[in-house]
Structure 1
Amino acid sequence: MKTHNSIEERYEFAGSAKTWSLGAIVIGLVAIAIGFILGGEHVQRMFSNLLLMSYWFVCICTAGVFFCAYQYVAQAGWSASLIRVPQAFAKVLPIASVIMLIIVGAGLYFKHEVVEHGITEKVPYLYAHWATHGLTIPGSENFDPIIFGKKGFLNIPFFYGALVVMLGAYSFFGYKMAKFSEAEDTEGGMFNYDQSFKYACIFLVIFGFTFPIFAFGAIMSLEAHWFSTMFGWYNLAAMHVSGLSIMALVIILLRKKGYMHWVTENHMHDFGKLIFGFSIFWCYVWFAQFFLTWYANMPEESVYFYIRWEPEYKFWFWLNIVINFLAPLLLLMSRDAKRLTNRMMWTCIVLIAGHWLDYYLMIMPGTVKEHRGFSVEEIGTFVAFGGMFTFLMLSKLSKAESLIPKKHPFLDESLHHHI
């Protein structure tokens, strides 16, 4: 069986892929504009959906950096021939980070009036639970002793500065690893690979300590009275399953378009094992977080799930666990299932939808009190960010001199990978 066609193969970003991605961006932006124009509660939903999609956008790109890093640290050979795809994800991370920071900044800056206990006050569209004026000022009518105890972390300068530093660090390491890989193709030798290995080790240490903090700040603080020490790892699992599913889907679609013929069912088998394994890990952390809260039955903890058991969210709450646990369990458990291209493709699509719902349930109940079905806000932001990610990622991929790292030290092992 032929394992590859040409190590000089380049991806050409043109035709329907470019047209559809640009069209999705335009349609999505129009829908977002309509959401803001409608005013009222639609504006709150728009900000919540923009945070959802920008956070997910960042997570998917970060998953590309994470994938490259642990492949380098493990000195894995199987992934060498397909590393250009996660590297393209990593190259988009700086743009995704800027977009998220703009949305977070706007959500903190712009305010609207709400009525609480008969009192009208102005609160920001995002992070109102801790960023509303007076919550940390003793004697204020808005004073909240719980938020006062967390003010060292939950204050705008530190919160925003921490996001900038963490996203900047992740972007820097992703950029450096991609650059070393590209330099390797022209310079040869082991210097660039050794540098990639070193930077990957440093990144994983930083990432392991900071990603839970990133999740605590960006998402958990939307409901600032509640906390869970497992929330960061729960987000890490969701981030990685989402990223792996999109990477695998991109590779499958590229192969269907005639690219990357050296990628075989053996490589997809390994992708399937990672997706399956991290899906089970996601379920383990999800259940541990849920079960311990249910068993302890402490009001300050159980309120998080109580809100998600309101009638408008309860169906989606249980559908979340059904999709993200049962789908990979039933569709990817057997060896043969991981080697079937169409099975893998549809499983990835299901998991992408499932983890969008997962993030939706993390964000919406704490920001949008009344769920009234999916409308222009949800559809518009998903379409816009889906088109933007596709356009940016494929643009970065097309700029690579070759779809295969020609002088990667483990390339031969990857081209002859068999399980």
Structure 2
Amino acid sequence: MGTNNQHTHNFTQQFEFSGKAKTWSLIAILIGVAAIAYGFLLDPAEYHSERTFANLLLMGYYFTCVCAAGAFFLALQLVTQSAWSAGLIRIPQAFAKVLPIASVILLVICAAGLFSHNLYHHWNLEGITEVGNEHYDAAIAKKAGFLNAPFFLIRLVFFLTIYSIFALVLTRFSDREDLVGGLANYKKSFKISAIFLVIFGFTTPIWAFDTIMSLEAHWFSTMFGWYNFAAMFISGLCAITVTVILLKKAGYMSWVNHNHIHDLGKFVFAFSIFWTYIWFSQFLLIWYANMPEETVYFFKRWEPEYKLWFWLNIVINFLAPVLILMTRDAKRRTNTLLAVCILLLCGHWLDYYLMIMPGTVESNRQFGITELGIFIGFVGLFSFLMMTQLAKKPLAAKNHPFLEESLHHSI
């Protein structure tokens, strides 16, 4: 593998988005649309909106997180001047290019949830901050300067707009690098990435606090932002790994070898451990303190409807990667790594499910057509948009300054 050189690979090769890939992604989107319609029209009227809106928020947030993770991965590789990833950088770039669309979808869901259904009813209920009103809540009134609908939406628009702008700028510099070569665009990408990572690092916890933690506004955890960041980055890594492996199986990206796959596997393994560390730290501190205002969060998740999912979450997202990906050989077996990454993508859907559902769905707590259908629909939407972007450019960044080094990557 280490003796490959640029003359043995076709760096003008482009992915053709057609055939079964396009058909199945469109079918998945239709399934999602049908599930949303079922949730709003056919599910019992007293339940349909809260459960359907909660599932839309879940998948809108998950969709945006995976795309944002692609932009973060791209910026991280640039700032660390990593050579190993130069040959597969088109994949996270495709994720980053979809981020603006994902951001708009999430904004629409959050705005609709605020004003047409009141998804954030724990703090956005009429009269909740007015002394004497039947809905008055002293704890929420103290947070009203931060938790109010206009400021909430302003923050959300600001964060997602900034992330999207940086994502598009980074991909545009790469496109220019393909055309003119040299180091000028790479150096600009390095500077932009450094700025982006600082902004992203400081604002993603607030984004998580707003979008997810405020669903249960009486409870808070200072670890929640990093818990969400860990889930986001693992999900993005798994999606990148799945895409790379499937492209390899389809005959693309001959310059990506087992050593690159191994590195992706190490990232997935390492950040699964990091996610578990944050999960356990948050759980242990709240359990040990045993304060009612803290333990109520986990009490809800130990109710009969969620207790099985609660423990399955830790089994999938911690034990599966630890037991399956521990060895070096396991990370180099593409089928094994592919299966684990798909399992983890489902596992972190379950993770988001447990973050969102207990605090938003007051009744009709069940798992069924709405959950599965909306999940399938967003998977299809992401696949369609991402592969559409992927097909627009050659699969190799031919003028990347570290491409030659990536070809000789060996561990």
TM-score (norm 1): 0.95
Alpha-carbon shift at residue 373 of structure 1 (Å): 3.2
- 1:42–1:377 CA contact under 8 A, matched in 2: no
* Residue identity matched to 1:385: F
Superposed CA deviations along residues 103-162 of structure 1, whole A, max 9, x for unmatched, are 111111113xxxxxxxxxxxx1x1000011111122222111111111121000110010
1:28 is aligned to 32
2:18 is aligned to 14
- 2:177–2:400 CA contact under 8 A, matched in 1: yes
Task: Select the residue among 353, 357, 360 that pairs with 2:353.
Answer: 360
Q: Percent identity?
A: 61
* Residue identity matched to 1:65: A
Superposed CA deviations along residues 292-325 of structure 1, whole A, max 9, x for unmatched, are 0000000000000000000111011011001100
Alignment of 1:18-417 (within 5 A): 18-38=22-42, 39-111=45-117, 124=118, 126-370=119-363, 372-400=365-393, 402-417=394-409
Alpha-carbon shift at residue 415 of structure 1 (Å): 1.0
Cα separation, partners in 2 of 1:210 and 1:164, compared to 1, 3 Å: same
Alpha-carbon shift at residue 5 of structure 1 (Å): 2.2
SS at match of 1:403: coil
- 1:184–1:408 CA contact under 8 A, matched in 2: yes
Distance 1:151 1:416 in 2: 56
Distance 1:249 1:149 in 2: 45
Alpha-carbon shift at residue 26 of structure 1 (Å): 1.0
Distance 1:158 1:54 in 2: 20
2:410 is aligned to 418
Alpha-carbon shift at residue 22 of structure 1 (Å): 0.7
Distance 2:113 2:294 in 1: 26
- 1:181–1:193 CA contact under 8 A, matched in 2: yes
Distance 1:330 1:10 in 2: 37
Distance 1:99 1:224 in 2: 23
What is the RMSD computed on CA atoms of the aligned residues?
1.0
Alpha-carbon shift at residue 371 of structure 1 (Å): 5.7
Distance 1:268 1:92 in 2: 24
Q: Runs (4+) of structure 1 moved beyond 6 Å?
A: none
- 2:238–2:342 CA contact under 8 A, matched in 1: yes
* Residue identity matched to 2:37: A
Distance 2:60 2:364 in 1: 20
* Residue identity matched to 1:405: A
SS at match of 1:128: coil
Distance 2:369 2:9 in 1: 45
* Residue identity matched to 1:79: S
SS at match of 1:130: coil
Superposed CA deviations along residues 317-370 of structure 1, whole A, max 9, x for unmatched, are 011001100011011111111100001000001101100000000000001134
1:117 is aligned to none
Alpha-carbon shift at residue 197 of structure 1 (Å): 0.4
* Residue identity matched to 1:406: K
Distance 1:328 1:270 in 2: 14
Q: Which deviates more, 363-372 or 317-326?
A: 363-372
Cα separation, partners in 2 of 1:34 and 1:301, compared to 1, 3 Å: same
Q: How many residues align?
A: 405
* Residue identity matched to 1:335: R
- 2:75–2:194 CA contact under 8 A, matched in 1: yes
- 2:47–2:364 CA contact under 8 A, matched in 1: no
Alpha-carbon shift at residue 372 of structure 1 (Å): 4.1
- 1:20–1:387 CA contact under 8 A, matched in 2: yes
- 2:122–2:216 CA contact under 8 A, matched in 1: yes
* Residue identity matched to 1:15: G
Distance 1:5 1:17 in 2: 24
